[in-house]
Amino acid sequence: MSSPDPIAATRMASANDPAGPVRVIAVASGKGGVGKTSVSVNLAMSLQNSGQRVLLLDTDLGLANVDVMLGLSPRFTLSDVFAGRCDLADTLIEGPNGLLVVPAASGKRHMTELTPAQHIGLVHAFSQLDVPIDVMVVDNAAGIADSVLTFCQAAQDVVVVVCDEPASVTDAYALIKVLSRERGVTRVQVLANQVGHPSEGRQLYDKLERVTSKFLDVTMNYLGAIPRDEWLRRAVQRQEAVVDAFPAAPSSMAFREIAKRAEKWQTPAGPRGHVEFFMERLIPTARSATA
């Protein structure tokens, strides 16, 4: 028996609810090892569980692991798209609770060497993706590579994940500086991960905010903190989102709270004049606002 087509299933479920503007949230970090992908997976799943239609895009083009964290076995990845073996729509797979996932490839060195034009081409390709979704969460690679900068620039909101390590805060500042000065990103959400106490998260944010407010023209916002949690580690071992595997865990409650805050962010009023995901879905919104 063949598995159902996630695109067809989504269209059937949304037959009377046409595709509209999509909120795109890019999750990034200055350095690796801060739990960025775990944040992306659990934020996406929390939004999906709250009734949003969510697409989780893995853009860690050389060391992808979103599919591994969710126990998925993709037939195609973004590597196949760039090789011409399939279309972007063919990479879509349905994860837990109807979450849609576009997986990237792991161990494909050539995927880390794509040109800036190819990164922009991937952004534009999503405008032709005829799937009704409300939110796309983009799990970026760590650091300040061109792909990270382009995908963050193309999102409406950027979440920078930090943890209590000096290098994490230093590299987070470097990422925010490059996004601000080279890509015109003016607003950043900061999420503290793996904290021992809620006050620790606020202290990390304050440390980062003091430097950015002094040297950069960026509006910073403290999104919250995810506690260090044994249940989260167990969920990773089970290849499940902790919000599904252990809903009562401290980290699960924190992720649901983060998702509630994200849902309150202002809906994009229209395109901002540069490369953006789902550009065509933003243009009608701008027209209707001026009509």
pLDDT at 10 (0 to 100): 46
pLDDT at 25 (0 to 100): 97
Q: Which two tokens stand for residue 273?
A: 């004049």
Counted domains in the chain: 1
pLDDT at 178 (0 to 100): 97
Domain of residue 30, residue span = 24-263
Q: Give a yes or no: residue 4 inside a domain.
A: no
- β-bridge partners, 57: 102, 138
pLDDT at 5 (0 to 100): 57
Q: Give a yes or no: residue 73 inside a domain.
A: yes
Q: Give a yes or no: residue 8 inside a domain.
A: no
CA distance 156 to 264: 13
pLDDT at 286 (0 to 100): 45
Q: Give a yes or no: residue 276 inside a domain.
A: no
pLDDT at 284 (0 to 100): 52
CATH number at residue 180: 3.40.50.300
Residue type, 108: K
Tokens 């500086």 belong to 177
Q: Which two tokens stand for residue 122?
A: 């991937």
- Per-residue pLDDT in tens (0 to 9) along the chain, 291 residues: 344 455 554 444 444 455 678 899 999 999 999 999 999 999 999 999 999 999 999 998 877 789 999 999 999 999 899 889 999 999 999 999 999 999 988 767 777 778 899 999 999 998 888 889 999 999 999 999 999 999 999 999 999 999 999 999 999 999 999 999 999 999 999 999 999 998 999 999 999 999 999 999 999 999 999 999 999 999 999 999 999 999 999 999 999 999 999 998 876 666 666 789 987 776 554 444 444
For residues 179 and 32, the answer to whether their CB atoms sit within 8 Å is: no
Q: Give a yes or no: residue 278 inside a domain.
A: no
pLDDT at 17 (0 to 100): 54
pTM above 0.85, yes or no: yes
Q: Give a yes or no: residue 198 inside a domain.
A: yes
CA distance 204 to 223: 12
CA distance 4 to 17: 20
Tokens 């090789």 belong to 83
Q: Give a yes or no: residue 1 inside a domain.
A: no
Beta strands in the chain (DSSP E): 23-28, 54-59, 93-94, 100-102, 135-140, 157-162, 187-195, 219-227
Q: Give a yes or no: residue 280 inside a domain.
A: no
pLDDT at 14 (0 to 100): 45
Residues in the chain: 291
Q: Which residues of 26-37 are buried (b: 16+ CB within 10 A; e: fewer)?
A: bbbbbbeebbbb
Q: Say how many C-beta atoms besides its own lie within 10 A of residue 127's C-beta.
A: 16
pLDDT at 113 (0 to 100): 78
| Nearest C-alpha neighbor of 147 from the set 121, 125, 169 | 121
